[in-house]
Structure formats: C-alpha cells, structure tokens
Amino acid sequence: MAKNLVIVESPAKAKTINKFIGKDYLVKASVGHVRDLPKSELGVDEDTFEPHYEVLEGKEKVVSELKAAAKKADTIFIASDPDREGEAIGWHVMNLIGAESKKVRRILFHEITKNAVRKAIDQPTDIDMNKVNAQQARRVLDRLVGYKLSPLLWDKVRRGLSAGRVQSVALKMIVDREEEIKAFQPVEFWTFAARLAAGNPPPFIAKLTKVAGKKADVGNEKDARVIEAALKSGKFTIAEIARKEKKQSAAPPFITSTLQRAAYNRFKYPVKRTMSIAQKLYEGKDLGNDGGLVGLITYMRTDSVRISDDALTEVRQYIAAKYGDDILPEKPNVYRVKKAAQAQDAHEAIRPTSLEFDPERIKDHLTREEYNLYKMIWDRFVASQMKPALFDVTDVDIANGPYTLRASGEVLKFPGFLAVFQETGGEDEEDEEKKDDKALPAMTEGEVLDLQNLETKQNFTQPPPRFTEATLVKALEENGIGRPSTYGTILTTIQTRDYTYKHEGKFFPTQLGMVVIKLLKQSFSNIIDERYTADLELKLDNVEDGEREWKDLMREFSHEFNGDLSRAEKEMTEVKRSGLETDEVCANCGSPMVIKFGRFGEFLACTNYPECKTTKEMPKGDAAEVAEGDEQVICDKCGKPMQLKRSRFGQFYACTGYPDCKNTKDPRLMKANLPTDPQPPCENCGKEMVLKSGRYGPFYSCSGYPDCKTIRKIGRGASTPPKPTGVKCPNCKEGDLVERRSRRGIFYSCSRYPKCEFSLNNRPVARECPKCHAPYLLEKETKREGHIEYCNNPECDYRAPVSDAKAANE
C-alpha cells in the first residue's frame, strides 16, 4: 500500500510520473485549479481585499478523492507546475485537505524525467507564499477590473460586454495601430538600381545611396528623371572596396514568447495551439518502448534562457560527436537573462529533456504538429551551443559624377550554428541560389564598369503593418504587458468578445472594439496605458520576490481605480441608445442610419425606429473586400440582389428572393475568384458537385451530403485552382505540369497528383532546349543574372537570359 501521495495538475503528468517513483507513492491529479473566486459575485472583500474562494463546479469529486487519499498518506507531495499558478494550485489543495495539510511538502521539477522527479522528492521544500500571494494579487486585480468595468460597459454600450485589465491594453494596441494606418499619409520616393558588369563575371546590382555626399532622398519624378539621365550618360567607376568579416551569433534556446512567435512564423500555429502542443510534449508521449510516457521538453512557461550544467554537458558532447569539434566553442555559450525574468531564473529555457530522443528517431510516435514543434525546440537548443556563423562581407562604393552607388556582397565563410537552425519562416527552394546571388565578382579600385540596365522605380512609404499573433505577442512582451503564459488567453478573449477579428492572419478592430477603447481612454486612461500596466507587472514581481505586501498593492490600485470609476459613471459617453452617427442613409425612408451593437456584433439601424425597422449588416473580413469591389451582389440563379447576413459560422450573402430562392454565397469564395465552369458529377453517386469553403480553403463537395461525403480538393491545399503551363509531365508522360500554390509559395507539379508526385520549384516553359533538345526549359529570376532560362537536364549546361533567348527564337 502506498505510503505517500503525490498531487500533480494533469492526469497525463500523473501517468508519466507514476512510472518513475514506485509502489510507495500514489499519484493523483487535481485536474487544474480546484478553487477560484465565485462566478456570480465579486468574491473579494473591498475593505480587506480578502478573497472568498469556493470549490469549482464539477471538481467536488476530485476534491473528495484528494482528501481521502491525503488521510491515508504519511507525506503529501505537491508537484504542481513550477510557476505562480502551480504554486497557487498547490496552496488551494493544501487548504482543502484541512488537518492533513501539516503533512504537505512542495516538490519542484522543470522536466518530467526520472532523475528530475527523484531529485525533487529527495529535496522537498515548502509552499512559497510569496508566489501564492503574487498570483492572488493578479487574480484579485483582474476580478476588480472585470467585475466593475463590465457593468459600466453594459450600461453605456450593450449588455454582455467585458473589460479586462490586460486584454483591454492588447485591444488598445490593435486600435491604436488601426488609427495610425488610417491617418497615414504616404510619401513618394524614388530608387535607382543599376545592373553593372565588371571585367569578371557575374553582373551585379548597385543601388544609389548618396547624392553629393548626402543621403539620396529623391521625392518626385522630375528630380528622378534628371538623375536617371545623368547616371545613364555618366561613367561608373569603383571608388572604394571595403572587406570585412561579419559574425552572426546563435539565438538562445526558446522561452515561452519566442517559441510562440517562431511557431506562428514558421507553421502559422496560433499561440493557444502552440501552448497546447508544448503541454503534451512536456507531460509525456508514449515512444513505444514499453517505458510508458516520456516527457520530451522542459517546462514551457518560462522567461529564463538559463540551461542546467547537466544539459550543457550533454549538448556539447552531442555537438562534438555529430558535427565535430570545429563547430563547438571552447566554452559554453551563456545568454543574458532579462531583468524581468530574474525572478523566474530558477526555471530553465525550453529544451529537450534528453538528446537521446532525436526528433527523427521518434517521429512516428508524434503527431505532425508535435514533431514540428519538438524539432524546432531541438534544433534551436543544439544551435544555441555552437560557434557563430562567419560571413565575408564586401561593400563596393561606385562613383558616377556626384552620385554614389553601393553594392554589397556576402558569402558564407563558416556556417557555425546555421548548419542546424535558421530563423526563417520556412524552407526556401532557392536558398542555395540566394547564397550565390550575394557574391560579387573580383574587382579593383578605379575599374570602370559597364551599365547593362538601370531600374528607376517610384515607391511610396507604407503604413505600419497590422498585428499578427506573432507581432502582437512581440509587442506585448516588449511593453511588459501580461506574461507569456497568458498571451494565448488574451488573444482568444479579444476575438470571442467581438472586439477584434482576424483577416488573412491579421488583427482588425471591430467598431465595437474601437468604441470600447475610446470610452476607456476617456475615463480609465491609466488602466489601459501600456507603461502603467507594465509597472503593475513589475510590482507583482516584487510581491513574488517578497519585497512588497500584496494587499498594500491592492489598496494603492483600488484607490485610483474607484475614483476613475465614480467619474466614469457620470461622465462616460452613452452610445447604447443613440448609436454612432454615420453618413449612411436608410434605403427605405431616407433617415440617417447609426451603428448599433447587438448580440452578433455591430450593424446599421435606421434612426426612424420604430416607424422604420430597417437594419443592415456591416461587412468585415472577406465580405468587406467583396463589398468594396462590388456595389451590389447579384444572385446568379434568379437575378435578384443578395443581402449580407450573419450566421454562427460567419457572414454570408443570401438571396432576397428567399424562400423561393435559397441561394447563398460565401464571401471567401467570391474573393478567391475561382472558376465557375461546371464540375463533372460526383463519381460516387452522380449528383452535382458544389463549391464550398472550409478551414483549409475552397473545395468541391457532393450535393448529396451527408449521404455522400465525396470531396474534391482544389490544388494541393491551395485557395486557387492549378494553372496549366503547357508542358507535359516528363515523369509519367500522361499528365500536364500545372502551377499550384501552397503555404510556402508557388510550385509546379503533375496534374495527376497524387498518382504522380513529380514537382519543380521553377516555372517550366514549353520551349525545346537549343543545346540538348530536351522538351522543356525552366525559368527563374536571380539577383546575379536577372530573368534567365536554363535546362533541367543535369548533363546539359544551357543557361541564357530570357530576353536573348526569345530574340534568337524570333
């Protein structure tokens, strides 16, 4: 019979730990939090700030089982996660087991491995009340803001709204960015790129950088044409050649925020999904070796880049054995810990628990997403302990009268860590070509160059880009808003509350979101100010460090907040009844229309209500793009106008002839501009195939669904149909090569895919090779040679500029 009880957070973690510690231990899971503030009331004494906790609904059975197991145990080990939330969960469990709490010890480990768990049990500590109080402070702060601001917004805007201490700051950042974009005034500027040839090949590009010794700043066409003429008539002479070595050092292993950003940039995983995948890797995976579950990565909620001595020794031995001593630095690479992370420096960075579990070796035991994330964590950790990459960099200044042009060349001299990990968003099919493109020919100072071509280009400055999940996470981190472990919740909340929506991966604020921020700025400028919120985060860190009493922080915050709240109740603008004025006029009665906010978002309503009950849906996302390009959407079945409507699946166009005509259109499909040619009938049941839009883009589905579930993909997961190239597939001789588009860009493959998997990265053209008479050539654009065609036959070296080849053919 087990003498000791180990309490963890999740059943998966319990299952993994159970195999490490033997029959003297019983492992039970709390299944997350067991107590929290009540849902139906504030739950905080506003004089003492004492929280009133209650057992979460549905957790009664779990709590009863924990209490029963605690009575039988000699020692109770709390093994919840090693952060504030985990410490608070352990403290709540300790309070619920009552008299048995005197048997409680706290154990901490940052990876779920046998050594880490056994070591933690041998070195138990006590619950850290500073961490618990920091978590209580955050919870009470959020409750005070949420429960007091939300009713105010219900009264002033519409029922059901919510405001959060951190989510409102994130929303403000999105709204502020949108206002910057709307206020942006583009500025014209011109650039000049000369394609020059030296005595030695290859040709290269040099760009105008200075005019009469000052930075080139050409703002209109008149000046641009003067410079263009002068450059064409002048002489290009090499004025100076500067050569130097550039060093690029490896990035540190991942922390939570950098993992979230990298996963989004490389795989387009939302922050919430990234953390869910990482959680599974941390808690353990079955690797099919009869050893049960194995924890593959260290704890994934961390701000620290520190690595344990054991892990450093292991990775250095691994690098030396696999890549050689040349790539291993004499001493381990040490990365600086951010000041904000010093309180959590007991944590490690996110790394593999053991280099025994090579990603390729265990690939078959992981899902595709788990493998992608695990391999990225593995590669960055290994790369972090390698030597820097070295580049030979050449800067060439070229004089032409008062004008100076610069060409820069960069050649990889020593790959260093780049042999393992690069910070790209994905593989680039022309990586090797691009490396060569950076090389410059051998040149000497005073050499005169030939001008092959001069590109004079008009440009306009661009507004700041809208936030993606990756860039918003970066902005939150840089501004000290929230903590990486909360980013997923923040990003989800501002969308589910209809304050923002994502279109093509970018955040747009809704009218509701903009109104809420406008009102909060009027009355609670401090609460949603980035610097104020960041300062509050530092104060919470001070509580965790034991430098500040958490209830003093509550009193300080509450005094200012309650004053703002009292003023807002009297002075905040009320838009609930009057709505927001617009330039729209009611089509039925001619009265002005205003923006109002309903259960499913904003809409236009006639001010002549109730005499006129006209309303109009406000388009957003793909529907907004369709609306901008077309004044009226017409039904292709009956010819009547179509009206924008909303369902629980999003916006759609519905025929005004309903119920006689039930035709609908998906804005996503309308925007995609897909072909309208009729499809062959379903190959399984003979019924009509209809175009639909799903999570991964458009597809054809049998109209007999759900009895017949036949579907036809469009391209290889692409949003546009494949385009013919006129070239027969050289592999199967039956299909044609077609242009397709994937997440990584354009490629060319056989139309009989997946029966024939032949593919090319560069465009095939139906022209016979003039040298070996191969049936087709390939075209591509390079920095060094421009637009060229070449033969795909590895034994043929034909390669020529496209313009020269076409002229020869003519």
Q: Which residues are catalytic?
A: 299
In angstroms, the CA 469 to CA 491 distance is: 8
Distances (CA, A) of 566 to 156, 163, 340: 14, 16, 34
CB 78 within 8 A of CB 104: yes
Distances (CA, A) of 683 to 675, 701, 722, 738: 20, 11, 21, 23
Dihedral pair phi/psi, residue 757, rounded to 5°: -105, 15
Distance CA 302, CA 310 (A): 19
Q: Locate 514 and state its tokens.
A: 């903009």
Closest CA to 575 of 151, 152, 156: 156
DSSP letter (8 states) at residue 550: H
Would strands 448-460 and 236-248 be described as parallel, antiparallel, or unpaired? antiparallel
According to DSSP, the residues that pair with 205 across neighbouring strands are 195
Please report the beta strands in 219-311, taking only residues with DSSP state E, as ranges in sequence order.
236-248, 285-286, 293-294
Query: What whole-number distance in Å separates Cα of residue 191 and Cα of residue 193?
Result: 7
* Nearest Cα to Cα of residue 160 among 498, 518, 509, 515: 498
With b for 16 or more beta-carbon neighbours within 10 A and e for fewer, the 101-134 pattern comes to: eebbbbbbbbbbbeebbeebbeeeeebbebbbbb
Distances (CA, A) of 612 to 454, 580, 581, 588, 609: 63, 18, 17, 8, 5
- Beta carbons within 10 angstroms of residue 546's beta carbon: 13
Closest CA to 258 of 361, 335, 360: 335
* Strand extents, DSSP E, 383-426: 389-400, 403-414
Q: Specify the residue for token string 């509701």.
A: 512
Cβ(624)–Cβ(535) below 8 Å: no
- The number of residues in the chain equals 810
Return the SS3 of 810. coil
Check: CB of residue 443 under 8 Å from CB of residue 200.
Answer: yes
Phi-psi category of residue 160: left, alpha or beta, with phi > 0 → left and psi -120 to 50 → alpha: left
Q: How far apart are CA 281 and CA 19, in angstroms?
A: 17
Q: Is 559 exposed, middle or buried (0-12, 13-18, 19+ CB in 10 A)?
A: exposed
* DSSP state string for 360-382: TTSGGGS-HHHHHHHHHHHHHHH
DSSP state letter for 102: G
Backbone angles phi, psi at 323, to 5 degrees: -110, -10
Contact 191, 476 (CB under 8 A): no
Give the Cα separation of 537 and 340 in Å (integer): 9
In terms of phi and psi (left: phi > 0; alpha: psi -120 to 50; beta: otherwise), the region of 187 is beta
